[in-house]
Copies of this chain bind each other. A is one copy, B any other.
Amino acid sequence: MPRAGLTTERLIQAGAELADEEGFDQVTVSALARRFDVRVASLYSHVKNSGALRTGIALLALRELADRGSAALAGRSGKDALTALGDVYRDYARQHPGRYAAAQLRLAPEDAAASAGPRHSRMIRAILRGYDLTEPDQTHAVRLLGSVFHGFVTMEGGGSFDHSSPAAAETWPRILDALDALLRNWPAAPTTP
């Protein structure tokens, strides 16, 4: 019998597709073996274990997302940049829900450090250069933007906005407007007397 041509990369890639189609929690070594029409044990030469597979998908998603972000940010600043990056997150989560879920996996410190995670912080911080914020307000604002992007995208994906009008698609640009207005007018730290 000819060989299937398994590779760590191919497995992770297929795992990402499986995640998008069936959900990240359905990503299993067994399901992946079925997809390659191969016995389960065969995958263990290419992937340490089930966790490593999931981690691989998470790292792929973080990288893809960061790549899209960099591309979208190129040549933009201010509200343009804010909108562009926000749209990247939302679009990615809608197109690749399984991968987006994977990107939320809690990584081991070594994996996290080697991941594209830090690129994400840097991208958001880059956006803030178009606004007039200094530390520590800049860090607070980075965290606010991260929270809004992630929060909105997961709630939309989870169907939280399905039972009220208008559609989430109408809210999104208004949230970006609001964030832009807020960043242009960031409130000073209250003086503690």
Contacts and interface: CB of A to CB of B under 8 A. Distances in A.
Interface string A144-161: 101111111011001111
A155 to B, nearest CB: 6
Interface residues of A, number: 43
A136 interface: yes
A7 interface: no
A49 interface: no
Contact of A158 (B104, B136, B186): B104
B178 A186 contact: yes
A150 B190 CA distance: 25
Given A106-B158, A178-B186, A151 B146 contact: yes
Interface in A135-193: 136-137, 139-141, 143-144, 146-152, 154-155, 158-161, 163-166, 168, 170-171, 174-175, 177-178, 180-182, 185-187, 189-190
